[in-house]
Structures are given as structure tokens and as C-alpha cells.
Structure 1
Amino acid sequence: MPSTEAFPLLSSTDKLAPRQHNVEQPRIRRRSSGLGGEIRAGDTSAPALATLDVRPPSPGTIKVSRAPSCYNMVTRAEDKQAQNDSYRKKPFSKRRKAKSLFVKWKRYALKHTWVTPLILIGVFLALFAINPTESNPIHHFIFLSYKLPAEPGAPVHYGKGWWDFAFVAFYIVVLSFTREFIMQQWLRPMARKSGLKSRAKQSRFMEQMYTAIYFGVLGPCGLYVMSRTPVWYFNTRGMYEGFPHKTHEADFKFYYLFQAAYWAQQALVLSLGMEKPRKDYKELVGHHITTLFLIGLSYRCHFTYMGLAVYITHDISDFFLATSKTLNYLDHPLVGPYFGFFIVAWCYLRHYLNLRILWSEFNEFKTVGPYELNWETEQYKCDLSHWISTFLLASLQGLNIFWLYYILRIAYRFLFYNVAEDDRSDNDENELAEEQRLDALSRSGVDAAAGPKVLLNGSPVQENGKENGKENGNENGKANGKANGKANGTTKVQTDGLTNRKTTTRKASRKV
């Protein structure tokens, strides 16, 4: 009676048909544009739902983090197939139908992330259309609240109150729709036409291009609003004269709350944690927390003129930062000179002007305007508000200096070494390089995502291999492809065209 092996030879591959796998592999660096790397600075890197990898895995997909045994992978795949077969045998029911519809809707909503916020906007507009008057509570979500009576010929002013939170919440949904729709329907086709084939690079392009569009519109709007206030042009004394500033014109209040909705929407998406954190993730989160505290406290304590100045300095500098990153992704020949122009704009707006605002906390905060704490008259310009606002502005300036260091380091390496890679961008660089490698393999006809593939002594087992071993290059029918007829060999698992370390070594107890 012939002896049997503890681990039979894999001479048949009927059970090892290639399936799609998501496999994490060592990455290589990307070489892109004149800057040579990602511009990892600033607060324009918050992701969007359209660029987050939140798609559910396809049926039969096996997530492999290390090189597993080929037997385990076959077993898992067979179990998954058996589970799917058992589902098909179950009788049809209303519950299964509802679940199927929900799954289909979930997949559609994840693919078209702008549909859900659009539906919510439609619901609010429909509810308002039933009674389009100020008595309708939905009016507070869509339009400004607390309108004050105005004298003839004088501009209308608006007060502040709790319904302003409803206004911000509604426009968080509006901004979510506009961001996802513009990125998916306009910017992704634009990225493809620009020659960006990597999906990761398309996502970065879409995020920065949308940021450039948003601040390209809101930046001039902020300057217009400032021109109608005593703060023009960054007049720090006007921030404290006539304090407290309890009421504002419609354009001022709309701009201030709309900007609050933008930063709240950015922080909300960032807090979902659906994207792998980047190297400056902590700094980006800290920036958003500081910004939201500044917006909320300045609005509640009537330091809105100071908040307006901070808004504008960050909006315009973010526009130049986003456009600089966009040119970098496109490998544009002007990326070098434009990056130099961006550094000048960054230093002027985020450091010179913001340091002037911070310095006014020490030489004008106490001397210009009233200085007392009175809860009844909402007079909050006192020692407590002085140190809170100073701390928040100083924290914001510290984050800007942190990013300035990396910006100047990129410029230094570019000027003196013709290399401007930022080691804080390894994650993004590797993602782009990996997708570029996979794209190149697909164009050359190599299926890089068909793994894992089983190798016997370095020879791949073909999908339709014959039991006599001829499909593995063995004319004499021996499984190891050697003339000595021995079946001892090494089993390896190859994924994405790369052979991992030796996983299983066995010795046969009989000859084939």
C-alpha cells in the first residue's frame, strides 16, 4: 500500500482559481514634478467622502496582510462560496427583499456620495415650500434669523441667537453636496483628461482643486465684506472700537456663518476616520479644533471683526497653497516659480498680518474701547477673554510656523539640491507609486491583482494545469520539474507579482 503524504502535492489547481485580493505591499517612492514630492503643509488636506475608500469589499475578496498558507486561502474561499450558495437556497422573503434594497442603496450612495445630501436638501426645501413664511421653523435653516427693524435708508442688521446653529447645520449639508458633486462630476473627469491615471493622485488633485475653487470665491467675498467694516484694511484698532459688536449686516453674518459651516463640515469628515491618517494628521486636527474654538467664541463673545480678519488671511493663503499643490500634481512647468510666489503670500498673510493681530492683544485690547466683564450687557472684553483669545491665536500661529518650516525645507532642497522631497509625505507618495505600478502592469498585459499565485520551486501553477505536470514545464510528469524525480520542494505564495518570503517547506515521502 503506497504511503501517503501529510501534505499532498498541489498538482491540480481547480481550487486555486485566481481571485481579487487587497494586499498591502512594500511601496516605492514617487518622482513627480519639479518639486520632487508632495507639498505636505497647510490645512487644505482634509479629505472628502468622494476620495475616501469606503466601498464594501466585493464578494469573495480576501484581505491578506501577510503571506498566508495557500491551504488556508483555499479553505476561506470555499467557505465563502458555500455561504453564498446557502443564501441562494433560502426561500425569498420580504425581509430579504428589504435588506437587498438597502444593500443596493448603500452601494449606490457610497459610489455617488452627493446623492444623500441632495435628498436632505430637497426634503428641507419641500417642507419650507408648504409654508414659505418666517413662521415656518424651516425658515431658520435656510435664511438668516433675528432680523432687526431698520430705519428708512439704513441697512438691515441681524442679531445673534440659537437658531444660528440651525443655519450652520443646513449649510453643512449644502457644502457636503457641492463638494461631493463638484469633485465627482467635474473634477474627476478633469483629472483624467489631465493625464492623472492613478486614482490616489486623482483624489489629491480633486481635493486641492475644490479647495482652490472654494477659497477663490470666498477670499474676494471676505475682502468685500471687510471693506464695509471699520477693520478695512486689517485695521486692528477697528476690532475693538465700538465693542461689543452684537449686530451685523446680512452679508457679514451670512459670510461668517457660512465659513463656520465650511470648517465644521471639514472637521466632521476628518473626524469620521475613514481615511488612513497622514503624517501631519495630528497637526491638521489641532488646526481644525483651534479654528472651531476661535469661530465659536468670537461669534458668541462679539469679537467677530477679529474673526473676519483671521478668516481672510487663511482663506487667501489657502487658495495659493491649493493651487500650488494642484500644479505640482499636474507636473506643470510653472510649479517652481509659483511655489516661490506662494511662500511670499503665506509669510505675508499667515505670519505678518496674523502677528499684527496677535500683537494688538497686548497694545490695543485693553486700551481701545471698554474693558470690563458685564454679563447683562454682554460686555466680554476683559482679562478672561484677553488670555483665551491670545492663547488661541498663538496656537494657530504655532501651527502655521510648524508648516512654514516644512515649506521652507522643500524650497531649500529644491534650490540647492534640485530635490524637494518631504519625508512627512511617505504615505501619500507610496500610495501614488503603488497605483502607478499597477497601472503600468495592467497596460503591459500583466494581471497584478489576480493573486495570490502558487509557486512550486519557482514555477507558477497554471489555472488549467494538468495533473501530469506538463503545464508547469515538466515534460516527464514530475511535479518538481527536476530530472531526479524528487518531489521535495518549497511552496511559496506570490501576490501582485512579488514573491514573499518562504512560508512553507515540506519534504515528500514518496516519488511522483
Structure 2
Amino acid sequence: MLSQLHEAIWADWIWFPEGHGWADLTDHDGKVYPKTQDLWATIPIAICFIVCRQIFERTVATPLASLLGVSDKQQVHAPPNPVLESYFCSTSKHPTQSSVESLSKQTGCSVRQVQRWFRRRRNQDRPSKLKKFREASWRFTFYLLAFFAGLAVLVDKPWLYDMKMMWEDFPKMPLLPSQYWYYMIELGFYLSLVFSVASDVKRKDFKEQIIHHVATISLISFSWLVNYIRAGTLIMLVHDASDYLMESAKMFNYAGWRKTCNCMFTLFAAVFIVSRLVVLPFWIIYTTWVYPLTLYPPFLGFYFFNGLMFVLQILHIFWAALILRMVVKFLPGNHIVEDERSDKEETESEDDDEHKEKFKNGYVQNGHTLLNNNHSKTE
């Protein structure tokens, strides 16, 4: 029964145009074609990326942060309070006004003290600037190297200049060693991002990021299985073209280089919009969605591949809207770019007449002067 199900799922007519099938991807006459088992290599590659990241962050990113003056301001921790901590962990990190008043009565603290406690407690859970700098440094390094590696792989390929060539003699296009490593490394990196998602900095678009990672991994894996490799390499190159610029803008932001950050973010916005809202839909997606219909009748694999492409494109439009909002905010003046996705640290007014009061009932210690964190962030 399982064998029959396997045969039904992987039937030639589902994944290939009429007249073609898996037999076309059998090695012969010295020509090598992609195979399903090749994808297993991405798991050890992903693990290697995780190990390399730890080494990189400690030996390269941390000293670089120190060199650029990236440091965290002293953070005031919320004093121990079992009642407030229980509510924070089990009910809500952002209590309503009525809840604050109720907690005030339970703890014997004033409403202002309860509000301050929740602000401090939320700030404790936010990642440090140094952690965000290390993460941005790692991604910047990979995306930069991946982009130029992709250029090296594609610069002499005819389908980079005439995208219709990606369908020439499909699916009987032999696999090149450079394509193999380009695919395995890119897919391994995206897998490593999924493996480390629990420890990475979480942004407001966390769900969209997960959808993007899943769609990307599915797209890369599927394009490998059915030999859409020429299209896949172009898609990966377009994505890497802008990512390293964004990560560099983050690094300059954390270092306090305001004007450099703004310039890098403006350059990133321009490259992002051109690559993902112009080149990807009007060149690449057109060549994977419209042009193939002039060569083959549509088949299920055709719809599946392009469906994933449209998911990515919708996410690109979503992020482009956020990027444009950020650009509009800082262009009139010389303000730092503020990432709409970031979860900014909350501050307390210096003229708070209660900021030196003590919490009551023996639960908390002396209040500490809070350091204002007036800089915005680019996550």
C-alpha cells in the first residue's frame, strides 16, 4: 500500500510536463542530475553553520562590536515580586488599567509602581544590543559572501542574461558542481535559521519570517528535485542582493553611526524594491509562470512551484510597505532609521516624581534610576 501511495504521489504527470519524467534525471554519459538523497547533505551543513556561527560571534563579532563601541546600557531589573511575576508569566505582559489597579491593591504598591515594574520586566526580556549586533554581523557575512558566490556561479551562464534559457532542454539539464554547492550551502543556511529560531532575536513579523523560511526551504528543495535549478539559482541571487545591505544598516545603527546607517538603509531600500518588486515578478516569475505555458501544458508541479513564488512575493510586498514607511519617517530630517518590526525598549520619564520610591510589603527593594534609551532601533 505504501509503495502504491509513493508511486501515486511521485507520478511523472504530476511533477513534469507531458512526455517527461523522473527517468530523465538518471545519470548517463558522464552527465549528473540532482537526486532526492542529495538533500540530506543540507542537515550536516546546517549544523556546521550553527557551530560556525557560535565561533564567529565570539571571535569576530564580539571584538568588532567592542571596536565600534557597541555596548549595552545598564539595565534596571524589576525587583522580585511574586504576585506581579505570576501575572506577567501566566496572564499578560501588558496588563489593562483595571488589572493594574487590582494588582496594586493585591501588592500594596501604587498604580505607578506597578506600571513601572511591568515596564522594567518587559525590558528584561528584550535582547541586548550586543546580541543583536552579533546576529546582524553573522547574517551580513553570510549574505555578502553568498551574493558574490552566486554572481560567480551565474556570471558566465546564458540564463542570467536571457531568462528564457532556464527552460532550454528542460528537464534534461545536467547538474554543474558549482550549482550543487550553491544549492546545498543556501539550503543549509536557511535550515540553520529554522534550527536557531528559538534563540534568535524575535521581531514583530516573527510569523511572516517563519512563513518565509518554510516557503524558501520548500521552494529550494522542490526546485532541486525536479531540476528547476536554473530558476532556483536566479531566485537565490535576487534574494541575497539586498539582505547584506539591511544587515549592515543594523550594524551601523547599533554602533551609533547615524548617517552611515541612514545611507545604507536607503541603498538597501532601493535594491530591495528593484530586485524583489521589479526583477523577481516581472522577469523571473514571468519566466516561470507565463513563458512555460508557451512550451508545455500546465501540470501540478508547475502550479506548486509558482504558488510558492507568489507566497514569497506577497511577503516581499508586505516588507516593502514597512521599508517605505521607515524611509518616509527619516528622509525629511536626519533621524535614525526605525525598524517597524522591532520591539523597542520602553523608557520612563526622568521627571517621574516616584522613581525613587520603594515598593511596599517587603517584595521589592529600592527603586533605581532608569537610564533613558532614546535611540531608535533598526532590527
Give the TM interval when normalised to the shorter protein. 0.5 to 0.7
1:77 matched residue in structure 2:
none
Q: Residue deviations 1:235-256, cap 9 Å, x none? A: 3201211100453111111111
Q: Spell out, residue by residue over 1:130-162, the C-alpha distance to the aligned partner (whole angstroms, 9 max, x if none).
A: xxxxxxxxxxxxxxxx98664xxxxxx533324
- Tell me which residue corresponds to 1:349: 275
What is residue 51 of structure 1 aligned with on the other side?
A: none
For 1:406 and 1:389, locate their aligned partners in 2 and report how far apart those are by CA, in whole Å: 27
Counterpart of 2:186, as a letter, is Q
Instruction: Please list, as runs of the form range in 1=range in 2, the aligned pairs for 1:203-222 lying within 5 A after superposition.
Output: 203-222=131-150
Q: Is the 8 A contact 1:187 1:206 kept in 2?
A: yes
Q: 1: distance between equivalents of 2:365 and 2:345?
A: 18
CA distance in structure 1 between the partners assigned to 2:156 and 2:366 by the alignment: 61
**Alpha carbons 2:288, 2:306 under 8 Å: kept:** yes
Residue 313 (1) aligns with residue 238 (2)? yes
The 5 A counterparts of 1:466-505 are: 491=361, 493-495=363-365, 497=367
The aligned amino acid for 1:387 is Y
Report whether the alignment pairs 1:255 with 2:182.
Answer: yes
Structure 2 distance, partners of 1:238, 1:316, is 22
Superposed, 1:205-244 pairs within 5 Å as: 205-233=133-161, 235-244=162-171
- Summarize the Cα distance change of 1:326–1:276 in structure 2 as closer, same or farther, 3 Å threshold: closer
The residue aligned with 1:327 is 252
Give the count of matched residue pairs.
281
**Does 2:342 correspond to 1:425?**
yes
Amino acid at match of 2:194: A
Give CA-to-partner distance per residue, 1:243-279, whole Å, 9 cap, x none.
Answer: 0045311111111111111111111211xx3457421
Residue in structure 2 matched with residue 166 of structure 1 by the alignment: 40
The structural deviation recorded for 1:328 is: 1.5
Structure 1 unaligned spans of 5+: 1-145, 151-156, 373-381, 438-454, 461-489, 500-512
Which structure has greater strand proportion? 1
Match of 2:66 in 1: 192
Amino acid at match of 2:288: E
Q: Is the 8 A contact 2:208 2:315 kept in 1?
A: yes
Q: Is the 8 A contact 2:358 2:367 kept in 1?
A: no
Aligned partners of 1:245 and 1:304 also within 8 Å: no
Residues 386-433 of structure 1, C-alpha deviations (whole Å, 9 max, x = no match): 22222111110111111111111111011236555445422xx218x7
- What is the TM-score of this pair, normalised by structure 1? 0.51
What TM-score, normalized by structure 2, do the two folds share? 0.67
Q: In angstroms, what is the RMSD of aligned CA positions?
A: 2.8
- Change over 3 Å in CA distance of 1:424–1:176 after alignment to 2: closer
> What CA distance in whole angstroms lies between the structure 1 residues aligned with 2:131 and 2:310?
33
Distance 1:247 1:496 in 2: 71
- Report the equivalent of 2:328: 412
The structure-2 alpha-carbon separation of the partners of 1:275 and 1:320, relative to structure 1 and needing over 3 Å to count, comes to: closer
Pairwise CA distance, 1:193: 2.5
Alpha-carbon distance in structure 2 between the residues aligned to 1:274 and 1:325:
18
Q: 1:366 to 1:265 in 2, by over 3 A?
A: same
Could you tell me whether the CA contact under 8 Å between 1:231 and 1:238 is conserved in 2? yes
Distance in structure 2 (CA, Å) of the matches to 1:394 and 1:495: 55
Shift of 1:285: 0.4
SS for the counterpart of 2:361 is strand
Q: Distance in 2 between matches of 1:245 and 1:181?
A: 41
Which residue is equivalent to 1:269?
Answer: 196
- Aligned pair in 2 of structure 1 residues 362, 189: CA closer, same or farther (>3 Å)? closer
Identify, as 1 or 2, the structure richer in helix: 2
Q: What's the CA shift string for 1:39-92, capped at 9, x where partnerless?
A: xxxxxxxxxxxxxxxxxxxxxxxxxxxxxxxxxxxxxxxxxxxxxxxxxxxxxx
Please report how far the alpha carbon of residue 360 of structure 1 lies from its aligned counterpart in structure 2 after TM superposition: 2.2
The whole-number CA distance in structure 2 between the counterparts of 1:327 and 1:367 is 48
Aligned pair partner of 1:383 in 279, 299, 310: 299
Closer/same/farther in 2, CA of residues 459 and 351 from structure 1, 3 Å limit? closer
Give % identity.
24
Partners of 1:158 and 1:253 within 8 A in 2: no
Q: Give how far 1:206 is off.
A: 1.0
1-side partners of 2:358 and 2:36: how far apart?
71
Greater Rg by CA: 1
**Structure 2 unaligned blocks of 5 or more:** 1-25, 73-126, 351-355, 370-379
